[in-house]
Amino acid sequence: MSGLEGRVAFITGAARGQGRAHAVRLAQEGVDIIAVDICEDVASMTYPNASEDDLAETVRLVEKEDRRIVARKADVRDFQGLSEAFNAGFAEFGRVDIVLANAGIIRMGSESDDFLADWNDVIDTNLTGVFHTVRAALPALREGGRGGSIVITSSTAGLKASASLHASGMAYASAKRGLVALMQGLASSLAPEWIRVNTIHPTGVATGMTMNEAMMKLFEEASAGGANSISGMQNALPIEMLQPEDVANAVAFLVSDEAKFITGTEWALDAGFMIR
C-alpha cells in the first residue's frame, strides 16, 4: 500500500481479533502502532474479552515486523483513561495519522435479568466508545496538518438490523447504525483538511466475539432448526465467516494513499450478506 511507511495508527480493541489483525497488517506496511484494549471482562456479556497476555502477543507480533508499538490497557467507555493511553503513544511517536475505532461487544444468547446493563454496556462501548476514541485522537490528528484516515468498525447490523427483542441485540444494531451518522458528520466536517472518515460493515468474522461457547450454543440451536439471533444469517458467497486478516487487508487499502479519494462511505465487507 502506498504512503504508509512511517505513519502511526491508533487502534482500539487491539489485543486480539480484528484489532490485532489491523495492527499486524499495518506494521507490515511500515506503520507504528498505539494499541489499547480493555483486557478484562464485561459482566453483562456472555463471553470472555481479551486478556493482558493477548495484548502482549499483539506487541510481540508487531515488533516481529520490526515496527514500534505502545500498548496500554484502557476501556473505551472511560474517556480520561483512553486519552491517557493515546497520549502515551503520541508522546513516543510524535504523530498520529490513522485512527481505527474497532473495539466492540455484544451479549450472545438470551437477555439477562438486568436488561438495562445489557443495553448500556453495548451502547457505551460500541457507540460512545467510538466517539471517545475519535475525540481522544482528533486534536493531534488535525494539528499534524498532514490529513489522515479514520475507519470506524460498524457491522452488517449497521446497514440492516436482524429481528430482535433482546436489549443487547437492539443496542448492537442501534449503535452500529449510529456509527454511520457519526461517520458522515465527521467526514463532511473534516474533508477540507484531507482527513477521510469511513465505516466498514463486516459480516461474521472469526474472532473472540464469535468463536466462543455462547456463540456455539446459538449455532447448534440454529442448525437444529431453532429460531434465534443468528438463524437467518447467511452470506451469498460460500464463506461461513471472514478471517480477521480479510478485514485487515481491506482496511490497509482504505487508510492508504491509494484510497485518498474515498470518504463518507459505508463499505460492506460482507461476502454478499446484504444482497440475500
The residue-averaged pLDDT of 149-166 equals 93
- Using the predicted structure, report yes or no on whether residue 113 has a pLDDT greater than 90: yes
* Residues making up the chain, counted from first to last: 276
What is d(CA 70, CA 91) in angstroms, rounded to the nearest whole number?
A: 10
User: At 215, is the pLDDT very low, low, confident or very high (cuts 50, 70, 90)?
Assistant: low
Nearest CA among 48, 47, 70 for reference residue 58: 70
Choose, from 172, 246, 248, 254, the residue flagged as catalytic. 172
Q: For 244-253, what is each residue's pLDDT tens digit? A: 999 999 999 9
What is d(CA 187, CA 174) in angstroms, rounded to the nearest whole number?
A: 20
Percent of the chain with pLDDT over 70: 92
Q: What is the pLDDT of residue 217?
A: 63
Q: What is the pLDDT of residue 204?
A: 92
Average predicted confidence (pLDDT) for the chain: 93
Cβ-proximal residues to 66 (8 Å cutoff; 6+ apart), any chain: none
User: At 225, is the pLDDT very low, low, confident or very high (cuts 50, 70, 90)?
Assistant: low
Give yes or no for a contact between 11 and 47, defined as CB atoms under 8 angstroms apart.
no
Q: What is the pLDDT of residue 160?
A: 92
- Using the predicted structure, report yes or no on whether residue 227 has a pLDDT greater than 60: no
47 is catalytic: no
What is d(CA 195, CA 97) in angstroms, rounded to the nearest whole number?
A: 9
Cβ-proximal residues to 194 (8 Å cutoff; 6+ apart), any chain: 146, 147, 148, 260
